[in-house]
Each structure stands twice: as C-alpha cells, then as structure tokens.
Amino acid sequence: METRILGISEKDIQVAADILKTGGLVGFPTETVYGLGANAMDSEAVGKVYAAKGRPSDNPMIVHIAGEKEMERLTDVITPDMKRLMEAFWPGPLTMVVPARPEVPRVTTGGLDTVAVRMPDSSTALELIREAGCPLAGPSANLSGHPSPTTAAHVYDDLHGRIDAIIQGEPCKVGIESTVIDMTSDKPMILRPGIITPEELSTALGKDVGIDPAILKKPEIVKGDGLLETGEDFKPKSPGMKYKHYAPKAEMIIFKGDPEKVRLAIAEEKLLRTGYGQKVGIIIYDNDNPKEAAHRFFAQLRAFDKSGVDVIMAAALEEDGVGLAVMNRMFKSAGYNIREVK
C-alpha cells in the first residue's frame, strides 16, 4: 500500500476525511502524540487499526470527538462530574472512560461495555474529525510496543506501507499520551497518568480521585510476547497497561536515587561501557520541569535508536505530578531495569 503524505490545507484535510469515510486509516497530529485515525463506528476500519499497529485486540481504542454533542453518540450517561471535567480540560489531554452505547462497536472498545473518549486540542485533528463526520478511533500511530510518535516522521518510520495517509502537521506539544480517568463509578479513578495530574483532577471535581495501583507497580516478568505477567498484585484496569510498551531497541537502565550520586553513577557506567566499545545515550532531565521531560522523552528514545546507541542510561524523576506520568513511561521503556543508587 502506498502511504500518501498530506499537509494541513483545507484540500488535504478533505482528502484525509474522504479516506476515513471509506474505511481507510490516516495518521494525524494531536497535542499529545500522533494518532492513527479510523471511523470508530466502523468495525472493519477499526479492525485494520489493530492489524496495522500489531496491537492486541483486547487493548481498546481512545475515541476522538470534536464537540460535546458527539459524546451523545457514544454514551447515554453524562454525569455532572463528567461535565465538570469536560468544561475544565476539553479540548485537551484528558480521556474519560464512560459506559458505551450499544452502537459503539465492541472492536473499538476491546470487547468492553465502556468506551474511552477524548477531545484533542489540535485544530488539525478537530477539523479532520468534523470533515469526516464521525468519531475517530485514534490510538498512538506507532507499531505496538515502540515509543509513541511525536512527529509525522515517526509515524512514517513505523507505519509507511501499512496505512493510507499521514497528515504532516505540527510536532506534538505535550509529547506523552493523555491522562485516562475511569468515570464509571462514584470515585473517579486514574488508569493512566498524563500531564493533567491527580491534583488538578481533584480540584476540578471537588473530591478525591483514585489512582490505579498498577500504574507504578513493577510486574513480575515480561514475557516474550510482550505481555506482562499479571501476578496477584498486578491487575491494571486499563487493558493497555498490561503490555510491554515504548521500548527502544537499545538496552535501557534507569538510575534512581540522590540526583548528584545518580549523575556520578551514570558517568562511571558510561566510562565502563565506552571502554567496551559501546555507544551510550544519556537522559537527564530537570526535576523542576517534568513537562519538558514529557515533551522530549519519546522523541529522544527514537533519536537514540536511529543513531545506533547500544545502551540508554536515564536518571529517574520524582514520581509525583507530571513526573509520575513521565516515570510510568520510562519504567516501561526500560522493561523495569532499575538501578538503585545508594
């Protein structure tokens, strides 16, 4: 299949919308990461998304909408809490899991009776959804297991020849995927951390939100097929969280501990590795600016892979606020290969 590269002109968005209307797949920019769009109400089109990504079929899609009205096509239940979050954070990097209407194909929801919905904060994405006239299933536009794509070039590297078109739009502002919050019970529960933090969500709702304990828990074993061993205490509520994810080709080690000691430990390990003739990539972010870390992380993993590094060494950030979201990705990228620095 020839993958067309489109721009963001009205004409090109129209071409992309026509592809979506006829059941095709289009990579498109959002503020979080690039998405792989398909008509969310068309089972066959959504089936092609799983195939193009090599994504396990029980890992549901996030459905992207352009207006609150479209929410009514997807769910019968819009609670006051949901309204509060829509008002506070949409369009933006927040996904809500809500009860799904019967019309929403179960291929889209990974067989669940709930559906994950988001309104992206990207004028290109919103125009595309409006022109296509349907909600768009939009998982990250990468091969399953690879780092998420934050530029159109990343999408091309992973999916050219497998999808109909890529819209070459802006690089992603946020750089990591949306915060996912389950709104199907009285106490909202964060299933995946993102740049919208638990504190911000609690403030907007005027009540506590839970955090799925599986978010930072180290699974026991990563099996060859990428499925994480689900031990007694590792039962994530979000199906996607049970798969190995975001992995660079290089070996990756996370150094955790006092920042000064971590820098020294990384420098020592670098000397050792380069002595063996290995090429080393180093990631050290400013703990005070985790948003910048989120913005750069996936692109940096891909850049290291391109330049053929053998090992990536990363300094851990503190696991709170936006740092929690970055560390959730970093742990998975490294396959939980963590070195505690004393």
Considering only 19, 71, 104, 116, the residue that binds ligand AMP (CB under 6 A) is 116
Q: Which does 7 bind (CB under 5 to 8 A by kind): Mg ion, ligand AMP, none?
A: none
Residue 140 binds Mg ion (CB under 5 A):
yes
Binding window for ligand AMP (CB under 6 A); candidates: 8-16, 114-122, 128-136, 297-305:
114-122
Closer CB to ligand AMP, 8 or 98, in the complex:
98
Stretch of 55-63, 76-84, 218-226, 301-309 contacting ligand AMP, by CB under 6 A: 55-63
Beta strands in the chain (DSSP E): 4-6, 26-28, 35-39, 62-64, 94-99, 114-118, 136-137, 165-167, 179-182, 189-192, 210-211, 251-257, 280-283, 311-315, 338-341
Give, as ranges, the residues between 72 and 111 that touch ligand AMP (CB under 6 A): 97, 109
Count, residues near ligand AMP per rule CB under 6 A: 20
333: DSSP letter: H
Told to check if 59 binds ligand AMP by CB under 6 A, we report yes
CA 50 to chain centre: 15
* C-alpha to C-alpha distance for 170 and 115, rounded to whole angstroms: 28
Which residues is 140 bridged to in the sheet? 35
Write down the least CB distance from residue 7 to ligand AMP, Å: 25
For residue 330, the minimal CB distance to Mg ion (Å) is 15
Instruction: Tell me whether residue 118 or residue 273 sits nearer to ligand AMP (CB atom).
Output: 118
Would you count residue 238 as binding ligand AMP (CB under 6 A)?
yes
Residue 141 engages ligand AMP in binding (rule: CB under 6 A): no
Closest residue to Mg ion, judged by C-beta, is 140
The footprint of ligand AMP on residues 240-259 (CB under 6 A) is 240-241
> Quick one: what does residue 109 bind among Mg ion, ligand AMP, none, with the CB cut-off 5 to 8 Å set by partner type?
ligand AMP
Extract the tokens encoding 256: 């955790």
Strand, coil or helix: 180: strand
Contacts (Cβ under 8 Å, ≥6 apart) of 176: 32, 33, 148, 194, 195, 294, 297, 298, 325, 326, 329
Q: What is the separation of C-alpha 304 from the centre of its chain, rounded to a whole number of angstroms?
A: 20
Q: Which two tokens stand for residue 195?
A: 């740049």
| Shortest separation between residue 78's beta carbon and Mg ion, angstroms | 26
Residues 6+ apart with CB under 8 A from 110: 57, 58, 59, 60, 61, 239
Among 177, 212, 305, 319, interactor with ligand AMP by CB under 6 A:
177
Upper half-sphere CA count for residue 138 (Cβ side, 13 Å): 32
Torsion of CA 253, 258, 259, 265, to 10 degrees: -50
Buried b (16+ CB within 10 A) or exposed e, 143-164: bbebbbbbbbebbbbbbeebbb
Give the shortest CB-142-to-Mg ion separation in angstroms. 6
Q: Which residue, 243 or 255, is less far from ligand AMP as judged by CB?
A: 243
- The residue whose Cβ lies closest to ligand AMP is 240
With CB under 5 to 8 Å by kind, the binding choice for 112 among ligand AMP, Mg ion, none is: ligand AMP
DSSP code of 138? -
Q: Helices 152-159 and 290-306 meet at what angle, rounded to 10?
A: 40
Q: Rounded distance, CA 104 to CA 246, Å? A: 28
Identity of the residue, 273 or 332, whose beta carbon is nearer to ligand AMP in the bound complex: 332
Interface of this chain with Mg ion, residues 311 to 330, rule: CB under 5 A: none
Should residue 114 be labelled a site residue for ligand AMP when binding is judged by CB under 6 A? Answer: yes
Residues near Mg ion (CB under 5 A) are 140
Residues near ligand AMP (CB under 6 A) are 59-62, 97, 109, 112, 114-116, 139-140, 177, 180, 191-192, 238-241
